């Protein structure tokens, strides 16, 4: 009976959600992405956060300026290390498991994509799909949250969201790393600063998910 109710709820949810459309939104002068029209923005801790309830999941975009003390990355290997630290930091703080980690490209920029699987402790499983873009000036984090039972329904919506990311033509690979002489000690400090910024992103994202989950639970109780 429980499975039947879940299936029926998904059918009703599907028929309601087809009317929802995305619209292109400027994250800044260089980056834009398609979001549900009901998105909201919040500026906190020097970050700008865009969030919205989509038809089958929850969308979060975080724009965070990097510290001015961070030295430019020297080469692609250094960028890969930033991506590695980012994924490892999320696993450490969330207790989840990283899946499907792979490099990707958006325009001319190199990015990192991966899924984070988290057991909520009540028998339910939540996934967070990440796409990270790092430039010397700004780090962009694109996330799509969904419950495991909706996995089959999220594919088209997630594809629409991630494939809609657009970059200005003047944003190039040399905005991510360059061949330059950088002091080893200074580069080590920059990595610490990057990791600190990532920690803030994770904490904010987790708190938003907890609030959303609590709100959904309250709505279910009210029903």
Query: Is a pLDDT exceeding 90 seen at residue 168?
Result: yes
Q: Where are the domains of the chain?
A: 22-222
Residue 41 in 3-state DSSP? strand
Q: How far apart are CA 53 and CA 51, in angstroms?
A: 7
CA 184 to chain centre: 30
80-103 in b/e form (b: 16+ CB < 10 A) is eebbeebbebbeeebebeeeeeee
Q: How far apart are CA 210 and CA 216, in angstroms?
A: 10
Label residue 59 by pLDDT band (50, 70, 90). Answer: very high
Q: What is the CATH number of domain 22-222?
A: 3.40.1000.10
Q: How far apart are CA 183 and CA 187, in angstroms?
A: 6
| Mean predicted confidence (pLDDT) in 137-141 | 97
Give the contacts of 157 (CB within 8 A, at least 6 positions apart). Answer: 54, 55, 56, 57, 144
| Mean predicted confidence (pLDDT) in 198-210 | 56
Percent of the chain with pLDDT over 70: 71
Query: Is a pLDDT exceeding 80 seen at residue 167?
Result: yes
Q: What is the 3-state secondary structure (H, E, C) of 96-140?
A: CEEEEEEEEEECCEEEEEEEEEEECCCCCEEEEEEEEEECCCEEE
β-pair partners for 126? 118, 147
Q: How far apart are CA 102 and CA 112, in angstroms?
A: 6
Tokens of 10: 């998904």
Query: Is a pLDDT exceeding 70 seen at residue 37?
Result: yes
């Amino acid at each position: 009976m429980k499975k039947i109710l879940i299936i029926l709820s998904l059918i009703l949810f599907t028929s309601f959600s087809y009317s929802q459309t995305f619209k292109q939104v400027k994250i800044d002068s260089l980056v834009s992405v398609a979001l549900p029209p009901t998105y909201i923005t919040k500026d906190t801790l020097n970050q700008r956060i865009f969030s919205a309830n989509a038809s089958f999941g929850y969308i979060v975009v975080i724009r965070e300026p990097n510290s001015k003390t961070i030295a430019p990355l020297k080469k692609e290997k250094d960028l890969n290390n930033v991506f590695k630290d980012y994924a490892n930091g999320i696993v450490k703080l969330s207790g989840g498991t990283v899946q499907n980690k792979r490099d990707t490209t958006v325009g001319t920029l190199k990015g990192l994509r991966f899924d984070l699987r988290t057991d909520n402790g009540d028998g339910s499983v939540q996934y967070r799909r990440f796409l990270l873009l790092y430039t010397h000036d700004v780090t962009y984090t694109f996330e799509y949250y969904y419950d495991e039972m909706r996995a089959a329904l999220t594919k088209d919506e997630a594809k629409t969201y991630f494939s809609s990311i657009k970059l200005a033509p003047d944003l190039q690979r040399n905005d991510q790393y360059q061949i330059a002489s950088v002091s080893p000690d200074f580069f080590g400090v920059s990595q610490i600063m990057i990791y600190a910024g990532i920690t803030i992103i994770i904490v904010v994202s987790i708190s938003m998910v907890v609030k959303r989950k609590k709100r959904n639970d309250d709505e279910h109780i009210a029903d």
